[in-house]
Amino acid sequence: MNKVARLSALVTGASVLAIAVTQSALSGEDSELVVEDVKFVTKTEAPADHPLDEIISGWRFRSDETQALQMDDFDNPAFTSVDYGEELWETAEGTSGKSCASCHGDASESMKGVRASMPKWHEGKETLMTLENHINWSRQEHQGADPWKWESPEMLAMTAYIGVQSRGMPVEVAVDGNAEDWFKKGEELYYTRVGQLDMSCSNCHEDNYGNMIRADHLSQGQINGFPTYRLKWQGVGSIHRRFKGCMKNIRAVPFKPGSDEFKALELYLAWRGQGLSVETPSVRQ
């Protein structure tokens, strides 16, 4: 749906949607939430080989107001990035004079499910690639265009636009074959204590999720909603920006966005959230 059509539909139904979400889904314990005919799984039983008993979206750890903000496309502040991404999708760039749409056509069809499967092994480049990597590879390979910086408005907009095409679809990443070593590296990083506070990802997001740390309600650290609009940032940010922030919080020297370390960690975390729905673009505190 283009942004004009979406705006018209949302202006008509925004108030009804906000009331429905607040009164029913937010206060209940249901594992599924249906909004605008899209079903979101926000809690699911973990498989036998999983370190957790149940897998819970970060959406469930947020305030009622933040939850409602995410689920209303008219109010969700991240949709300015989605709209910009839609414009970029149609814009010709580079020496080829082609746009993304020139090759991929309607994103709602060609990009459906892409976000849900990322990151994944790329046969041509023979490495694990995130959605950002795929976008820049396509820009250089097919458009003859310069790559975007990881946290640029353009990259965030395109990842948000591609991501929204998978909303409601279950996260499902491949961690076998060529991706297996990356998965194991990500798992190792997740449990390794680092920084002056001598903490690992698991200390907060596995051992203490559900507890409060200062004014924040600790979640499981699921990444099914990225790129996300954080109220703290007053803007949209990538998964790797969040990783970097977490490492700074425990007084560790962070890896660089796009580094092999963060790509491996992203794969492992995506696996930890398998079965949850893609919520892009989410809203978090």
pTM to 2 decimals?
0.89
Phi, psi of 56 (to 5 degrees): -125, 130
Q: What pLDDT score does 214 carry?
A: 80
Low-confidence residues in the chain, pLDDT < 70: 1-30
Q: Provide the domain limits for residue 56.
A: 3-75+173-284
Catalytic residue among 100, 103, 201, 246: 246
Known catalytic membership, residue 201: no
**Same domain, yes or no: 64 and 183:** yes
Identify the H or E element spanning 50.
none
Identify the H or E element spanning 155.
helix 153-164
**Same domain, yes or no: 53 and 92:** no
**Same domain, yes or no: 184 and 133:** no
Cβ atoms of 213 and 269 closer than 8 Å = no
Return the closest-CA partner of residue 160 out of 124, 111, 119: 111
Q: pLDDT of 229-267, one tens digit each?
A: 999 999 999 999 999 999 999 999 999 999 999 999 999
CATH number, domain at 180?
Answer: 1.10.760.10
Residues 6+ apart with CB under 8 A from 65: none
The last residue of one of the domains, among 138, 164, 190, is: 164
Q: What pLDDT score does 25 carry?
A: 40
Q: What pLDDT score does 30 carry?
A: 62
How many separate domains does the chain show?
2
**Same domain, yes or no: 120 and 181:** no
Q: Is 97 exposed, middle or buried (0-12, 13-18, 19+ CB in 10 A)?
A: exposed
* E strand map for 49-163: 54-56, 120-122, 127-129
Return the closest-CA partner of residue 150 out of 92, 76, 89, 227: 227
Distance CA 3, CA 277 (A): 23
Q: What pLDDT score does 27 carry?
A: 39
**Same domain, yes or no: 66 and 118:** no
Residue 177 corresponds to which tokens in the numbers above? 């074959």
